[in-house]
Amino acid sequence: MIRVEGLTHVYQTRQGQELKAVDGVDLNIAPGEFVAIIGHNGSGKSTLAKHFNALLTPTSGRVWVAGISTSDAGRLWEIRQKVGMVFQNPDNQIVATTVEEDAAFGPENLGVAPAEIRRRVDEALQAVGMEEYARHAPHLLSGGQKQRVAIAGVLAMRPACIVLDEPTAMLDPVGREEVLGTIKRLNRDEGITVVLITHFMEEAVEAGRVIVMENGRIVMDGKPKEVFSQVRRLKELHLDVPPITELAQSLAREGVPVTPDTLTVEEMVQQLLGN
Amino acid sequence: MVNTITIGQYVPAESIIHELDPRTKIGAVTLLIVALFLVNSFTGYGLITGFLGVAILLSGLPVRFVMRSIRPLVIIIIFTFILNIFMTPGKTLLLLGPLQVTDTGLYRGTFMSIRLVLLILATSLLTLTTSPIRLTDGVERILAPFKRVGVPAHELAMMMTIALRFIPTLLEETDRIMKAQMARGADFESGNLVGRAKNLVPLLVPLFISAFRRADELATAMEARCYRGDEGRTKLTQLVVRRVDVVALLATVAFLTGTVIWFRV
């Protein structure tokens, strides 16, 4: 789905200095994958994500989306239709004055016929569970609902992949749950490739693959269990470990028979009850 | 304080007026405004008031509710009235110190006030019965023929949409910043006019910075959703001119032309 080869991106800071935000990244994301990218602020994860739909183009190296190079300016809109992007602030990505008009914004830009737009909007709102709010004004919705509207706006363009750049950072726990549930369902039921950038480890745990970034480089890449069981390494990178994993490791050290790569409370309960 | 500002206060309902094409309504209101400036007699204004009254009744909105839209502009109306009374030369009716009330002044003051009231009522009826989306669609379509001579019809409509979308968001933000600054001892309520204006600086600076940041992020989000102006763009909602639109517009044109020809001095 997305193939990155030797990607480097250099920013020009206002003082005229050059800043390497992404430094020689190689990455392959297969269709239907659910990838979480973690790393603390300034690790380059957002810059990397912006390359996935050609909002940024590589300083050097190449990025291919569904076989199209993002440096190919002539096929920019094709790329952006294939890879939808959801941003952090729900208020600053809703364009229209009603929910359904906003969901229609993408297909309208693509020049889809009105009857087809109607169908797509209804489907997209249904997919995120916002069909009841179709005619509501966006500013009256909760943060989680707004973010679901933003996802619907992307879905209506029928993308193969959705990139979400810290979509839950500004939400309360209820909103986070809503958004994450929606993302998981879309990945599982609709087979949409998901790239989730986050700094919540509980969210990364839900992904099929976790990528850890540091100083513009990928430093860890594997299944959540493989990544999160390396507690010491993560702490070196100043990243949190899911509390339940930390507990499991302490217990394991004390001789309690639980596996040190336990990621969820349910898993822990099952292991303890099993014994 | 912030919550009292309402713009584009659309009231959804089902009525002939609500269901008219926005272009019909914008056209009719424009004609009515032109007529208000051409007609020069009280009888003419009486007829126009009647016409507007019928439209308000047809809209099914409570008359008192429509009248309320005058309230924010009462001061301007009173100001106009007083200015006209005192500043127009004519036969003196009353002396108040150095000021004199003249007969033509009284006549003009009343006339201007009625004109303002009718202007406000007509435009309010438009925004009360037309949703912001249909209004902007209407504006875009009306301006579309002028694109050739460089009128940015689509861009204007898009700006209107975004403005309407962000007014509540920015009002909320204003409220939040105000509270934050008040918690730090800022005072927005006392002092003279100059002092108060100065006190607004700690409110306006963060508000502007935030608005620019929002604009930047919105632009990125729009680009990510393939926005590239109106080139090859389609619309979810289509505007359709129906027979009732043609009839309504013809009736308005006939009535207003008649009134203007008859009562123009």
Q: Which domains does chain A have, with CATH numbers?
A: 2-241 (3.40.50.300)
pLDDT number for residue B8: 52
A252-264 CB burial, b ≥16 within 10 A, e <16: eeeeeebebbbbe
Same structural domain, B212 and B246: no
Are B165 and A107 in contact (CB < 8 Å)? no
Chain B hits for A107, CB-CB cut-off 8 Å, are 234, 236
B113: domain range? Answer: 1-130+239-265
Same structural domain, B105 and B74: yes
pLDDT number for residue B265: 56
Same structural domain, B24 and B112: yes
pLDDT number for residue A133: 92
Instruction: Select from B175, B209, B212, B236 the residue whose CB has the most chain A CBs within 10 Å, as the one to mutate to test that interface.
Output: B236
A266 vs B: CB within 8 A = no
Chain B hits for A114, CB-CB cut-off 8 Å, are 234-238
Ramachandran quadrant class, A61 (left: phi over 0; alpha: psi -120 to 50; beta: rest)? left
Q: Is the dihedral of CA B228, A80, A65, A39 positive or negative?
A: positive
Measured in angstroms, the CA of A262 and the nearest CA of chain B are apart by 38
DSSP label at B232? T
Q: Does the structure show a pLDDT above 90 at A103?
A: yes
Same structural domain, B230 and B245: no
Q: What CA dihedral angle connects A29, A34, A38 and A41, to 10 degrees?
A: 80
Same structural domain, B159 and B175: yes
Same structural domain, B181 and B244: no
Instruction: Give the model's confidence band at B206: pLDDT under 50 very low, under 70 low, under 90 confident, else very high.
Output: very high
Q: Does the structure show a pLDDT above 60 at B5?
A: no
Q: Which of A13-22, B113-122, B185-194 has the highest mean pLDDT?
A: B113-122
What mean pLDDT comes out for the span B238-251?
Answer: 91
pLDDT number for residue A242: 82
d(CA A168, CA A199): 9
Same structural domain, B98 and B164: no
Same structural domain, B261 and B215: no
d(CA B151, CA A14): 36
Q: Are B253 and B32 in contact (CB under 8 A)?
A: no
Same structural domain, B151 and B23: no
B162 vs A: CB within 8 A = yes
Q: Could you report the per-residue pLDDT of B7-20, keeping only the tens digit for each? A: 457 787 889 999 99
Are B218 and A138 in contact (CB < 8 Å)? no
Geometric angle at alpha carbon A214, from A181 and A1, rounded to 5°: 50
pLDDT number for residue A83: 94
The residues near A143 (Cβ < 8 Å, ≥ 6 apart) are A90, A170, A171, A172, A175
Say if strands A60-65 and A209-214 run parallel, antiparallel, or are unpaired: unpaired
Partner-chain residue, chosen from A109, A112, A154, that has the shortest CB–CB distance to B227: A109
What are the DSSP calls for B116-134, one per residue? HHHHHHHHHHHHHHS-HHH
B235 vs A: CB within 8 A = yes
Q: Which of B25-29, B36-40, B134-138 has the highest mean pLDDT?
A: B25-29
Higher pLDDT, A84 or B95: A84
pLDDT number for residue B1: 37
Partner-chain residue, chosen from B172, B228, B237, that has the shortest CB–CB distance to A109: B228
Q: Does the structure show a pLDDT above 60 at B148?
A: yes
Measured in angstroms, the CA of B195 and the nearest CA of chain A are apart by 33
pLDDT number for residue B126: 92
What's chain A look like in SS3?
Answer: CEEEEEEEEEEECCCCCEEEEEEEEEEEECCCCEEEEECCCCCCHHHHHHCCCCCCCCCEEEEEECCEECCCHHHHHHHHHHEEEECCCHHHHCCCCCHHHHHHHHHHHHCCCHHHHHHHHHHHHHHCCCHHHCCCCHHHCCHHHHHHHHHHHHHCCCCCEEEEECCCCCCCHHHHHHHHHHHHHHHHHCCCEEEEECCCHHHHCCCCEEEEEECCEEEEEECHHHHHCCHHHHHHCCCCCCHHHHHHHHHHHCCCCCCCCCCCHHHHHHHHHHC
Between chain A and chain B, the number of residue pairs with CB atoms below 8 A apart is: 95
Would you mind telling me the total number of residues written for chain B in this entry?
265
Which residues in chain A (46-105) have CB-CB distances under 8 A to chain B?
53, 55, 77, 80-81, 84-85, 87, 89, 91-98, 100-101, 104-105
Are A139 and B172 in contact (CB < 8 Å)? yes
Q: How far is CA A197 from the centre of its chain?
A: 4
Chain B hits for A138, CB-CB cut-off 8 Å, are 165
Same structural domain, B180 and B57: no
pLDDT number for residue B3: 42
Instruction: Give the model's confidence band at A275: pLDDT under 50 very low, under 70 low, under 90 confident, else very high.
Output: low
pLDDT number for residue A219: 92
Question: B238: how many CB neighbours lie within 10 A of its CB?
Answer: 9
Q: Does the structure show a pLDDT above 70 at B264?
A: yes
Same structural domain, B154 and B186: yes
Are A95 and B132 in contact (CB < 8 Å)? no
d(CA A117, CA A136): 18
Same structural domain, B184 and B84: no
* Number of folded domains that form chain B: 2
pLDDT number for residue B50: 94
